[in-house]
């Protein structure tokens, strides 16, 4: 009986970490009726995942990454203060010893003032980061 319990325990230790892995949403599928979404930075929704850098170190950092369906968007800052919307590729790299997500070439962070709107193109495999507490409206213009 003791051997069986040991085997079950060992097996569960192998399986449980993989069950906790997050699955990146399929960005090629536009959910039925999806036209827009309001995102509050740091809050969960159907498109967000926890993105962790420098895992298992004293410098571990986790934030919400929003994997919206690929496409062109009108992005409006609905808050009272300027907000930065940054596009990242879901691929880590080391820069001077620190982990960070790659940024797509020629896609610079958007600084959007209160009430202003800018356009953004999000490709498959990319996600956006919005600082905690900022409220941003994403309106789908066209799917990619």
| pLDDT tens string 88-128 | 998 898 888 888 989 998 889 999 999 999 999 999 999 99
* pLDDT 10s digits, 9-47: 343 433 333 334 567 778 878 888 889 999 999 999 999
pTM: 0.80
Tell me how many domains the chain contains: 1
Range of the domain at 95: 24-143
Q: Is residue 16 part of a domain?
A: no
Cβ atoms of 52 and 100 closer than 8 Å: no
In a domain, 41, yes or no: yes
Measured between alpha carbons, how far is 130 from 133 in angstroms, rounded to an integer?
Answer: 8
Could you tell me the two tokens for 95?
Answer: 């820069």
**1 assigned to some structural domain:** no
Residue 80 domain-assigned (yes or no): yes
Is residue 83 one of the residues assigned to a domain?
yes
- Residue 17 inside a domain? The answer is no
Range 131-144 average pLDDT: 93
């Amino acid at each position: 009986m003791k051997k069986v319990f040991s085997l079950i325990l060992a097996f569960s230790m192998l399986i449980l970490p993989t069950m906790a892995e997050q699955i990146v949403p399929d960005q090629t599928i536009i959910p039925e009726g999806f036209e827009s979404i309001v995102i509050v930075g740091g809050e969960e929704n159907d498109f967000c995942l926890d993105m962790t850098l420098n895992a298992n170190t004293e410098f571990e950092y986790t934030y919400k990454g929003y994997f919206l369906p690929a496409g062109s968007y009108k992005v409006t800052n609905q808050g009272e203060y300027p907000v930065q919307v940054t596009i990242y590729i879901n691929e880590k790299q080391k820069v001077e010893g620190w982990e960070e997500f790659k940024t797509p070439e020629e896609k610079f962070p958007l600084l959007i003032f209160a009430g202003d709107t800018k356009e953004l193109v999000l490709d498959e495999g990319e996600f956006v980061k919005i600082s905690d507490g900022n409220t941003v409206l994403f309106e789908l213009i066209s799917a990619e």
